[in-house]
Structure 1
Amino acid sequence: MSYADVNGVRIYHESHGSGRPLVLLHGGYGAVEMFAPILPALAERRQVIAVDLQGHGRTADVDRPLRFESMADDVAALIRHLGLAEADLLGYSLGGGVALRTAIQHPGLVRRLVLVSAPFRRQGWYPEVLAAMAAQDERVAEQMRGTPPHELYTRVAPRPQDWPQLWVKTGDLLRRDYDWSEEVAALAMPVMLVFADADSIPVSHMAEFFGLLGGGHRDAGWDGANRPAARLAVLPGLTHYDITSSPALPEAVLPFLTHEARTPA
C-alpha cells in the first residue's frame, strides 16, 4: 500500500501477488475494494496493482475536472513511476473508459487491455442509464448517503466531506459526449471485452465494439487460424452491478492475459 505523486495527484495504489503486472481500475464512486471478491484469484497468477483514481477512495481530489483523458495520463505516469516497461490493464465501467484512453494515449505502456462493462462511445449506454448519469449532482450525493459506496468513501477518503464534490465532478464527466471508434479501430494490442448478459450496455453495442477490434467478421476456420486477436465474453446471469464480484470474471480473463496471443493469418 503506497502513494505516488504523479501529475499533481497523490495516487493511492496497492500491490498483491507476483508475476507480470496487471493494473486494476475501479468504477465510478468506487475504490480498490470494488475488486476485493476477485482479487485473490487474479493475484494467484499476476502482480495485481489496484489503483484509486482521482477523487476516489484514498486518492484525494485536486483542482482539475474529472476527465478520462487526464486520469489515463495519471495511470500511465504511475506505470512509469513504478519502473514498469509495460503492464496489462483491466478497467471496469468508468475505470474501463480510463483504461481505454490509457491504451489510446500511451499504447507503448499497455501490453494487453481488458475492458469490463464499458462502451467506446457515450451513446453505448442504454437511454435510461444516460438519463441517470445526466442527473448526477450534489442532490443525488445526499440521497446516496448511507449506501455502501458512501460508507466506504467515509471510511477511507482523505476528505470525506468531498463526497458531494465527487458527484458533481463525475456528473460533469458523464454528461460529456465522446466517440472513440476511430481510435479503438487503430489499437494494436490484444483487447478483451467483457460484459454481463444483462448489462447497462446493449448487446448491439458489444458486437459493434468487438467488430471495431477486428472480431466477428469471418469464420475462424477449423484450426482457428483466422481467429482475431480480440476477445469477447458475455457472462451469463450477471448485471453491470455484480460482474466484478463474480468468479466468472477472472475465469474468463486470466486465460486471455496468460496465454500467447494468436493473430489472424
Structure 2
Amino acid sequence: MSYAEVGGLRLWYEEHGSGRPLVLLHGGYGATGTFAPILPALAAHHRVIAVDLQGHGRTADVGRPLRYESMADDVAALIGHLGLTGADVLGYSLGGGVALRTAIQHRALVRRLVVVSAPCRHGGWYPEVLAAMAGQDEASGERMRGTPAHRLYDRVAPRPQDWPRLWAKSGELLRRDYDWSAAVSTLTLPTLLVFADADSVSTAHMVEFFGLLGGGHRDPGGDGTARPAARLAVLPGLTHRDVVGSPALPRAVLPFLAHPTIAPG
C-alpha cells in the first residue's frame, strides 16, 4: 500500500496477491474498498493493483477538473511506474470509463480490458440516471453526509473537508456529453463487457457497445473460431449498485482473463 507520484498527483494504490497484474478502478465516490467483497477471489489468481482515482479515497484532489482522459493518463503512468507489461485493467462505473479511455489512449499498456456497468457514450445511461447525474453538486454532497460512502471518505481521505468539492467536480464531469464509439470500434484487444440485468446502462446500449467491439454480427461457426475478441456478460438478479460486489462478477471475469487463445475473429 503506497503512493505513486504521477502527473502531479499522489496516486494511492494497494497490491494484493500474485500473478499476472490486474488493475482495479472503482466507481464514483468510491475507493479501493469497493472491491473488498471480490478481492480474495481475484487476488487468488492475480497480482491485483487497486487504485484510488483523483479526489477519491486516499488520493487527494489536485487543481484540475475530473476527466476520464486525465484519469486514464494517471492509470497509464502508474502502470509505467510499477514497470508492468501488458496489465489487465478492470473498471466499474466511473472506473469503467477510465479503464476504457486507458485502453484507447495507451493501447500498448493494456493486455485485456474489463468494463463493468459503464457505457461508451453519455446517452448510454437511462434518461433518469442522466437526470440524477445532472443534479450532483456541492449541496447534494452535503445531503450525502453520513452515508457509507461519506463515512469511508471521512475516514481515509487526506482532506475530508473536500467531500462537497468531490461532488461538485463529479457533477461537472457527469454532465459532460461524450461519445467514444468511433475509438471503441478500432479496439482489437480482448474486451469483456459486464452489466447487471437491471443496470443503470440501458440494455439497448449494452448490445450497441458489444457491436462496436465486433460482437453479435454473425454466427461464430460450429467450432466457435469466428467469434470476436469481445465478450458480453449480463449478470442476472443484479443492479448497477450491487454488481461490483457480487460473486458472479469474478466468476465471469476470471475465465476471460485466463483464456489462452482469445483473438479477433
TM-score by length of 1: 0.99
> Which residue matches 2:206?
206
> Which residue matches 2:146?
146
> Which residue matches 1:116?
116
How many Å apart are 1:202 and its aligned residue?
1.0
- Please tell me the residue identity of whatever aligns with 1:36: A
Identity of aligned residues (%): 75
> Which residue matches 1:11?
11
Cα shift readout 1:74-128 (whole Å, capped 9, x = no counterpart): 0000000001122000000000000000000000000000000000000000000
Structure 1: give runs of 5+ residues left out of the alignment.
none
Alpha-carbon distance in structure 1 between the residues aligned to 2:121 and 2:261: 26
How many Å apart are 1:29 and its aligned residue?
0.2
- Please tell me the residue identity of whatever aligns with 2:223: D
Alpha-carbon distance in structure 2 between the residues aligned to 1:257 and 1:148: 31
- Please tell me the residue identity of whatever aligns with 1:123: G
> Which residue matches 2:232?
232
Cα shift readout 1:191-218 (whole Å, capped 9, x = no counterpart): 0000000000111100000000000001
For the residue of structure 2 that corresponds to 1:255, the secondary structure is helix
Cα shift readout 1:171-229 (whole Å, capped 9, x = no counterpart): 00000000000000001211000000000011110000000000000111111111111
- Please tell me the residue identity of whatever aligns with 1:32: T
> Which residue matches 2:79?
79
> Which residue matches 2:247?
247
How many Å apart are 1:264 and its aligned residue?
5.1
Alpha-carbon distance in structure 2 between the residues aligned to 1:177 and 1:264: 30
Alpha-carbon distance in structure 1 between the residues aligned to 2:231 and 2:85: 24
Alpha-carbon distance in structure 2 between the residues aligned to 1:93 and 1:170: 13
Contact 2:228 2:264 (C-alpha < 8 Å) held by counterparts: yes
4+ residue segments displaced more than 2 Å: 261-265
For the residue of structure 2 that corresponds to 1:90, the secondary structure is strand
> Which residue matches 1:21?
21
> Which residue matches 2:50?
50
Alpha-carbon distance in structure 1 between the residues aligned to 2:199 and 2:103: 23
Contact 1:26 1:91 (C-alpha < 8 Å) held by counterparts: yes
- Please tell me the residue identity of whatever aligns with 1:177: D
How many Å apart are 1:261 and its aligned residue?
3.3
For the residue of structure 2 that corresponds to 1:216, the secondary structure is coil
Alpha-carbon distance in structure 2 between the residues aligned to 1:222 and 1:69: 40
Alpha-carbon distance in structure 2 between the residues aligned to 1:261 and 1:87: 17
Alpha-carbon distance in structure 2 between the residues aligned to 1:263 and 1:251: 21
> Which residue matches 1:262?
262
- Please tell me the residue identity of whatever aligns with 2:102: T
Contact 2:190 2:264 (C-alpha < 8 Å) held by counterparts: no
Alpha-carbon distance in structure 2 between the residues aligned to 1:227 and 1:68: 30
Structure 2: give runs of 5+ residues left out of the alignment.
none
Q: How many aligned residue pairs are there?
A: 265
The verdict on how the C-alpha distance between 1:4 and 1:142 changes in structure 2, with shifts beyond 3 A counting, is same
How many Å apart are 1:259 and its aligned residue?
1.1
Query: RMSD in angstroms over aligned alpha carbons?
Result: 0.7
Contact 1:229 1:261 (C-alpha < 8 Å) held by counterparts: no
Contact 1:124 1:202 (C-alpha < 8 Å) held by counterparts: yes
- Please tell me the residue identity of whatever aligns with 1:30: G
